[in-house]
């Protein structure tokens, strides 16, 4: 070794010993393991650094004086030449429902991040959240959408799959996702917004999120499993599920590092306010005729007493774009959704916005055919308009895949000789189709009313519907009392108009 090289090497080692770690993903909030509100809420705060360890601490409490302190669990993520990191996870428990808490993450005396987080709502309260899919491709449109989501100030968010392109690796998260949604210092359409500092995101698995499930080939694949901490109330082990492959050592490391999310990220549900959300992995390896899965879905939806039952998955069964048209595997779930009173299904995969009329579908086959299609009989509710008729007869299927990836323009209703489906496979069920801009969904729900709005990348509203629950029969008033006059005329069930 030359003297010059020795000096360079010694200087490098000296600098490394003195340097602090680099924070690669700033602390962000997750919903945590508890699916239901119960008597208290809990949250997870997590962040990622390089391999230089740090003595982090998290102060939190319901006042700005905090009052409580916790230290994070440290998990090494070693992907060899694909990268090495330290992940920090702090579990915040016994948080009050219907309120908020403050937190700050410290490294010694340096504050790394601070924020105020709204806790979960109890069942009778209003909750507002956003839904978006197909986000992390690293382009300008993703940052615009992240900025608009920040402006919407939701209480939580659901990403309905294809969170990061193209293969869902940890490196791709660092390149394409954390900047727009978390790491940016200030909010702007050019940079995004640090939404995840205060808003828990629920992740749903899309095809790109599981695009590198062989860890022997792509060591840092399946990044979603390291970054999301979903509730742990999924089905028992299924015959059809994501197969993670790799060496024995890689699989053992994955099991340990992803213990909060594997296999939980595939199937889980949650409650917040008057909303019950059911999140489903709809990738092609899932068999929607598997009895254990169907029983779990039925039990989950039936058990819930929430006024609004919403389901979230990536692959839409009912949509009118040529791209991905034949991937209709989720259609076989339609009768179960109808039986269990699902109000709206949200999906992504198709990069635009679509909303169907309320519909009922009777499949003619238990499984998709070889092309992926599922034929059956449609019943459409033509009367629902979301304005004067607000009680849908059937499930509304929404595609909200305009989160940033390149838009899909042509629809099956435009002239295209390649599209010649039979009436058993397609009927004009589309109520709204917006494919010339990126967008995301904003949902506000109280026990009687749900408002769905679609906002575009500049914040303009491009769709707006109201759903109401039929008012239960009210016993006749005693004859001596005057008749009430506060019901709004012309709206079903005397529902009040939207503000």
* Cβ proximity to Fe ion, 162 vs 271, nearer residue: 162
Q: Quick check: 349 binds Fe ion (CB under 5 A)?
A: yes
User: Which CB sits closer to Fe ion, 362 or 409?
Assistant: 409
Query: How distant, in Å, are the alpha carbons of 42, 242, 280 from that of 263?
Result: 20, 8, 12
Under rule CB under 5 A, residue 372 binds Fe ion: no
First and final C-alpha spacing in the chain: 76
Q: Which is nearer to Fe ion, 349 or 453 (CB)?
A: 349
Residues 28-67 within binding reach of Fe ion (CB under 5 A): none
Cβ at position 452, least distance to Fe ion in Å: 22
Q: Toward Fe ion, which CB reaches closer, 350 or 467? A: 350
- Binders of Fe ion: how many residues, by CB under 5 A? 4
Helix (H), strand (E) counts: the chain = 8, 23
Site mask for Fe ion (CB under 5 A), range 301-320, x = bound? --------------------
Question: Per CB under 5 A, which region of 28-36, 345-353, 369-377, 413-421 contacts Fe ion?
Answer: 345-353
209 lies in the binding site for Fe ion (CB under 5 A): no
Least distance to Fe ion from the beta carbon of 350, Å?
8
Region at 404 (left for phi over 0; alpha for psi -120 to 50; beta for the rest): left
Q: Which of 407, 275, 423 is nearest to 354 (CA)?
A: 407
Residues 403 and 414: beta-carbon distance below 8 Å = no
Residue with Cβ nearer Fe ion (382 or 409): 409
CB of residue 160 vs Fe ion: minimum separation in angstroms? 10
Give the bridge partners for 88, in sequence order: 47, 74
326 near Fe ion (CB under 5 A): no
What's the closest the beta carbon of residue 209 comes to Fe ion, in angstroms? Answer: 9
CB of 291 to Fe ion, least distance (A): 27
Question: What's the angle, vertex CA 290, arms to CA 335 and CA 307, rounded to 5?
Answer: 40
Name beta bridge partners: 270: 277
In this chain, which stretch among 96-104, 195-203, 347-355, 483-491 interacts with Fe ion, using CB under 5 A?
347-355
Residue 74 makes CB contacts below 8 A (sequence gap 6+) with 53, 86, 87, 88
Cβ distance 32 to 101 under 8 Å?
no
Contact 182, 257 (CB under 8 A): no
Q: For Fe ion, what does the binding mask look like between residues 137 and 176, x meaning CB under 5 A?
A: -------------------------x--------------
Q: Which of 379, 436, 426, 364 is nearest to 406 (CA)?
A: 436
E-strand spans in 396-483? 396-400, 430-434, 439-445, 449-456, 461-468
Site string for Fe ion, 94-123 (x = CB under 5 A): ------------------------------
Encoded one letter per residue, x for contact with Fe ion by CB under 5 A and - for no contact, window 69-88 reads --------------------
Pairing of strands 275-280, 396-400: unpaired
Query: Among residues 106 and 139, whose Cβ is nearest to Fe ion?
Result: 139
Residue 302: φ, ψ to 5°: -75, -35
Please choose, out of 205-213, 291-299, 368-376, 412-420, the segment that lies near Fe ion by the rule CB under 5 A. Answer: 205-213
Could you give the CA distance from residue 150 to residue 101 in angstroms, rounded to a whole number?
A: 19
Residue 166 beta carbon to Fe ion: minimum distance, rounded to whole angstroms: 11
Which listed residue (70, 89, 191, 207) binds Fe ion by CB under 5 A?
Answer: 207
Report if residue 206 touches Fe ion, rule: CB under 5 A. Answer: yes
- Chain residues in the site for Fe ion (CB under 5 A): 162, 206-207, 349
């Amino acid at each position: 070794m030359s003297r010059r090289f020795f000096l360079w090497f010694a200087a490098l080692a000296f600098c490394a010993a003195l340097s602090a770690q680099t924070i690669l993903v700033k602390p962000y909030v997750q919903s945590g393991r508890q699916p239901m509100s119960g008597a208290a809420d809990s949250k997870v705060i997590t962040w990622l650094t390089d391999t230089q360890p740090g003595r982090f601490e998290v102060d939190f409490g319901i006042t700005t004086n905090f009052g409580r302190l916790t230290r994070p669990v440290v998990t090494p993520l070693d992907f060899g030449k694909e990268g090495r990191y330290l992940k920090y996870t702090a579990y915040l428990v016994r948080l009050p429902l219907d309120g908020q808490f403050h937190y700050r993450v410290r490294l010694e005396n340096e504050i790394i991040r601070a924020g105020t987080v709204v806790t979960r709502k109890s069942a009778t309260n209003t909750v507002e959240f956003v839904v978006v899919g197909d986000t992390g491709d690293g382009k300008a449109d993703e940052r615009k959408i992240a900025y608009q989501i920040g402006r919407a100030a939701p209480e939580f968010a659901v990403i309905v799959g294809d969170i990061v392109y193209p293969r869902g690796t940890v490196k791709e998260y660092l390149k394409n996702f954390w900047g727009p949604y978390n790491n940016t210092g200030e909010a702007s359409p050019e940079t995004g917004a640090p939404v995840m500092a205060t808003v828990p995101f629920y992740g749903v698995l899309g095809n790109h999120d599981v695009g590198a499930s062989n860890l022997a080939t792509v060591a840092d694949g399946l990044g979603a499993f390291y970054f999301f901490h979903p509730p742990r109330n999924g089905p028992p082990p299924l015959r059809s599920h994501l197969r993670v492959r790799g060496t024995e050592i890689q699989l053992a490391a994955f099991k340990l590092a992803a213990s909060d999310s594997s296999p939980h990220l595939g199937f889980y549900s949650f409650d917040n306010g008057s909303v019950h959300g059911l999140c489903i992995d709809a990738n092609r390896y899932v068999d929607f005729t598997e009895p254990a899965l169907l029983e779990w879905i039925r039990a989950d939806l039936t058990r819930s007493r929430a006024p609004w039952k919403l389901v979230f998955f990536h692959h839409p069964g009912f949509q009118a774009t040529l791209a991905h048209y034949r991937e209709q595997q989720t259609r076989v779930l339609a009768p179960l959704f109808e039986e269990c009173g699902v109000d709206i299904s949200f999906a992504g995969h198709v990069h635009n916005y679509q909303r169907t009329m309320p519909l009922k579908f009777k499949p003619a086959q238990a499984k998709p055919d070889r092309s992926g299609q599922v034929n059956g009989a449609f019943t459409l509710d033509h009367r629902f308009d979301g304005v004067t008729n607000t009680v849908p007869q059937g499930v509304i299927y929404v595609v909200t895949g305009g989160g940033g990836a390149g838009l899909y323009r042509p629809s099956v209703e435009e002239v295209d000789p390649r599209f010649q489906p039979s009436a058993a496979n397609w009927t004009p069920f589309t109520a709204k189709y917006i494919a010339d801009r990126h967008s995301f969904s904003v949902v506000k729900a109280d026990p009687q009313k749900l408002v769905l709005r679609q906002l575009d990348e500049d914040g303009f509203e491009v769709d707006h519907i109201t759903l109401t629950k039929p008012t239960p029969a009210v016993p006749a008033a005693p004859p001596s009392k005057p008749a009430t006059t506060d019901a709004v005329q012309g709206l079903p069930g005397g529902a009040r108009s939207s503000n």
